[in-house]
Amino acid sequence: MFRLAPGEVENLILQNAISSWGGRRHQPYVSTEHGVAMLSSVLRSERAVQMNILIVRAFVRIRELVASHKDLAHRVEKLEDMQERHGSVIGILADEIEELKTIEPPVKRPIGFIGSA
């Protein structure tokens, strides 16, 4: 077990609702999945074993969620890259269109025979 760092505590507070008395007053102790597994080898009661099984399952589920979020984050990053590339191409096209708007059209000669009077 170990305590969270001050920045991690701040992040924890920002992610959770704060009670009317101001929330946590100390850095909480936390444990890793391996720590919970080691604890289950020490504790022998049926309730302790069941709680450790539930905690390990929660860690597994969190790991699955993190993995799926990494996949989603990678996909979003790819979309953002494509959008940036397409956005730059669209910007170039818009600049070219603006330049074409500023070009004066050539003076047209009248069609037909112009006779001398």
pLDDT at 18: 57
Kindly report, residue by residue over 63-101, the tens digit of the pLDDT.
888 788 888 888 888 888 888 888 888 888 888 888 888
Does residue 72 lie within any of the structural domains?
yes
Residue 60 makes CB contacts below 8 A (sequence gap 6+) with 33
Does 107 score more than 70 pLDDT?
yes
Does residue 76 lie within any of the structural domains?
yes
86 CB-side CA count, 13 A: 6
- The distance between the two most distant Cα atoms of the chain, rounded to a whole number of Å, is 121
pLDDT at 25: 62
Give the domain extent around 39.
Answer: 31-101
Does residue 50 lie within any of the structural domains?
yes
Does residue 117 lie within any of the structural domains?
no
Does residue 68 lie within any of the structural domains?
yes
Radius of gyration of the chain measured on its C-alpha atoms: 33
d(CA 87, CA 47): 58
Does residue 25 lie within any of the structural domains?
no
Does 13 score more than 70 pLDDT?
no
DSSP state of 114: -
Q: How many domains does the chain have?
A: 1
pLDDT at 12: 66
Kindly report, residue by residue over 37-71, the tens digit of the pLDDT.
777 677 778 887 788 788 888 888 888 887 888 88
d(CA 31, CA 26): 16
